[in-house]
C-alpha cells in the first residue's frame, strides 16, 4: 500500500475530525478507496471510535435513477437517516470509477431525490464531517494526468502542515470579517455584493481535505452585476462551459452557458434558493496549480474565486436554503478582488504576496 494512504487516514482521523472514545464514525465511499477506508477504520478503532463503512457504487446510483419508478423517488430512507443521526463523525471519500456516470440521468429525477433526502444531508452537516478524495483512474483522466501523476498531485495538496496553512488563511478571514462591500472585477465581470456581518470560514482541512480556501455567504439580496466563469463547472457528470450570470438584488435574472445551458437552467430552477448565491470563496492552496475538473480541488486553486448557487453554510451565518449547492470557479488572472474599496488581490496574488 502507498504509505501516503496511511498518512491521509491519520490526518482525517486525528486532525480533521479528531475522533475520540465513543465516537460513532461513518466512512462513506463510492467505488475505490477500500484501503483508505480500512486505514481510517483502524485509526478510529485505536482511539476508541466505532467505525462503519458505507459504500455507494456509482453504478448503483446510476441504476437507481434509471430504474426506480417515479412514485418511489419520494421514498425516504429511514435507516440511513437513523444512521446519520446516531453518527458523530462522517468522513466521505469521493472515489468514483467513472466521473460521468450520471451524464445521461434525468436531472429532474436527481433534483426530486435530492429534495427527498435533504433532511439527511442537513443532518450530516451538523456532525464533525469531512469530505475527501481517493485518487482513481477516472479523476486522473479528468485531470489529464496519469494515475501516478495524479496521486502525486492529490497528496501534495493534502499532506501539508495544516496549522501553518490555517495561519495564512486566518489573515484573510480577519479582513473579510470586517468587510461590507465586495467587488469582483475580471474578464466580462463586474460583480458587487455585501458580506456585512457574515462570518468568513477558513477551510483549514477540517471539513474538506484538501483545505485551502476562505469562504463566506453573501447577503441574500445584495449581489448585483455580471460574472463570467472561464472554468467549466461539472455536476452529475455534466460539464457546463462558459457560464455567464447576471444578478440583480441577489437574484439571477439572466444566465447563459456555452455548453449544457439546459442543465444550468435545471440547476438554477431547482427551488427558491437555487436562484440566489450561497457562497463566495477565494482559493489559497498553493500546491493546487492546475485545474483538474474536480471542485474539491479546483475551488482551492490559489488565484481563483468561486461562487455557489444554492444553500449557504450555517457557519458563515448564511440563511439561503436550497436542495443544492453548486460551485462555479473563475481565475483571477487578470482580475481584482476589492474589499471596501481596497484591492486586496490583483491578478491572483494577495497584496502581501507581491
Residues 6+ apart with CB under 8 A from 82: none
Residues 6+ apart with CB under 8 A from 105: 62, 65, 66, 236, 237
Strand segments (E) across 136-187: 181-186
Closest to its own copies by CB, 69 vs 341, is 69
In the complex, minimum distance from the CB of residue 162 to its own copies, in angstroms, rounded to a whole number: 24
In the complex, minimum distance from the CB of residue 45 to its own copies, in angstroms, rounded to a whole number: 5
Q: Give the C-alpha separation, 55 to 28, whole Å.
A: 6
With contacts defined by CB under 8 A, name the span among 28-36, 148-156, 276-284, 341-349 that binds its own copies.
28-36
The answer to the question of residue 242 lying near its own copies (CB under 8 A) is no
Q: Give the C-alpha separation, 269 to 154, whole Å.
A: 34
In the complex, minimum distance from the CB of residue 71 to its own copies, in angstroms, rounded to a whole number: 8
Phi, psi (deg, nearest 5) at residue 37: -60, -40
Closest to its own copies by CB, 3 vs 71, is 71
The answer to the question of residue 101 lying near its own copies (CB under 8 A) is no
User: What are the helix and strand counts (H, E) for the chain?
Assistant: 11, 19
In the complex, minimum distance from the CB of residue 126 to its own copies, in angstroms, rounded to a whole number: 14
Closest to its own copies by CB, 87 vs 233, is 87
In the complex, minimum distance from the CB of residue 43 to its own copies, in angstroms, rounded to a whole number: 9
In the complex, minimum distance from the CB of residue 343 to its own copies, in angstroms, rounded to a whole number: 49
User: How many residues touch its own copies (CB under 8 A)?
Assistant: 44
Closest to its own copies by CB, 54 vs 131, is 54
In the complex, minimum distance from the CB of residue 310 to its own copies, in angstroms, rounded to a whole number: 24
Q: List the interface residues with its own copies, window 31-90 (CB under 8 A).
A: 31, 34, 37-38, 41-42, 45-46, 48-57, 59-60, 63-64, 67-69, 71-72, 75-83, 85-87
Closest to its own copies by CB, 31 vs 298, is 31
The answer to the question of residue 334 lying near its own copies (CB under 8 A) is no
What is the full DSSP assignment across 256-274?
A: E-SB-HHHHHHHHTSSGGG
The answer to the question of residue 26 lying near its own copies (CB under 8 A) is yes
To which residue does cell 475505490 refer? Answer: 32
Q: Give the C-alpha separation, 91 to 9, whole Å.
A: 10
- Whole-number Cα distances in Å, 207 to 6, 77, 92, 251, 335: 19, 25, 10, 28, 28
The answer to the question of residue 257 lying near its own copies (CB under 8 A) is no
**Closest-CA residue to 130 (of 278, 28, 217, 5):** 28
With contacts defined by CB under 8 A, name the span among 20-28, 159-167, 258-266, 284-292 that binds its own copies.
20-28
Element (H, E) at 110: helix 107-116
Q: Give the C-alpha separation, 176 to 174, whole Å.
A: 6
Q: List the interface residues with its own copies, window 163-202 (CB under 8 A).
A: none
Q: How many C-beta atoms surround the C-beta of residue 310 within 10 A?
A: 23
The answer to the question of residue 106 lying near its own copies (CB under 8 A) is no
Closest to its own copies by CB, 56 vs 141, is 56
User: How do 50-55 and 213-216 pair as beta strands?
Assistant: unpaired
Of 16, 24, 132, 284, the one binding its own copies (CB under 8 A) is: 24
Say how far residue 250 (Cα) sits from the centre of its chain. Answer: 21
With contacts defined by CB under 8 A, name the span among 24-32, 146-154, 195-203, 205-213 that binds its own copies.
24-32
Binding residues for its own copies, rule: CB under 8 A, are 21-22, 24, 26, 29, 31, 34, 37-38, 41-42, 45-46, 48-57, 59-60, 63-64, 67-69, 71-72, 75-83, 85-87
Amino acid at each position: 500500500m502507498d504509505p501516503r494512504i496511511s498518512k491521509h487516514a491519520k490526518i482525517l482521523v486525528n486532525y480533521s475530525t479528531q475522533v475520540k472514545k465513543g465516537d460513532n464514525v461513518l466512512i462513506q465511499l463510492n467505488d475505490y478507496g477500500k484501503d483508505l477506508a480500512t486505514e481510517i477504520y483502524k485509526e478510529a478503532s485505536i482511539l476508541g471510535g466505532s467505525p462503519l463503512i458505507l459504500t455507494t457504487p456509482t453504478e448503483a446510483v446510476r441504476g437507481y435513477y434509471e430504474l426506480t419508478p417515479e412514485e418511489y423517488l419520494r421514498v425516504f430512507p429511514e435507516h440511513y437517516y437513523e444512521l446519520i443521526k446516531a453518527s458523530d463523525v462522517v468522513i466521505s471519500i469521493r472515489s468514483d470509477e467513472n466521473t460521468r456516470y450520471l451524464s445521461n440521468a434525468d436531472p429532474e429525477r436527481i433534483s426530486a431525490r435530492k429534495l427527498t433526502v435533504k433532511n439527511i444531508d442537513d443532518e450530516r452537516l451538523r456532525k464533525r464531517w469531512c469530505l475527501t478524495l481517493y485518487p482513481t483512474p477516472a479523476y486522473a483522466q479528468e485531470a489529464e494526468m496519469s494515475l501516478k501523476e495524479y496521486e502525486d498531485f492529490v497528496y501534495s495538496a493534502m499532506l501539508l502542515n495544516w496549522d501553518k496553512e490555517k495561519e495564512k488563511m486566518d489573515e484573510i478571514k480577519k479582513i473579510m470579517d470586517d468587510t461590507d462591500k465586495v467587488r469582483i472585477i475580471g474578464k466580462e465581470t463586474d460583480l458587487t455584493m455585501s458580506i456585512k456581518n457574515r462570518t468568513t470560514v477558513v477551510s483549514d482541512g477540517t471539513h474538506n481535505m484538501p483545505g485551502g480556501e476562505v469562504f463566506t455567504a453573501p447577503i441574500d439580496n445584495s449581489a448585483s452585476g455580471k460574472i463570467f466563469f472561464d472554468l467549466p463547472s461539472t455536476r452529475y457528470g455534466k460539464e457546463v462551459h462558459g457560464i455567464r450570470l447576471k444578478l440583480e438584488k441577489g437574484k439571477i435574472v439572466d444566465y447563459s452557458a456555452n455548453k449544457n445551458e439546459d442543465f444550468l437552467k435545471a440547476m438554477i430552477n431547482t427551488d427558491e434558493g437555487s436562484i440566489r448565491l450561497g457562497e463566495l470563496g477565494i482559493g489559497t492552496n498553493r500546491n493546487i496549480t492546475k485545474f483538474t475538473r474536480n471542485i474539491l480541488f479546483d475551488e482551492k486553486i490559489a488565484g481563483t474565486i468561486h461562487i455557489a448557487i444554492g444553500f449557504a453554510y450555517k457557519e458563515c451565518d448564511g440563511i439561503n436554503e436550497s436542495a443544492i449547492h453548486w460551485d462555479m470557479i473563475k481565475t483571477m488572472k487578470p482580475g481584482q478582488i476589492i474589499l471596501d474599496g481596497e484591492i486586496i488581490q490583483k491578478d491572483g496574488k494577495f497584496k502581501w504576496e507581491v
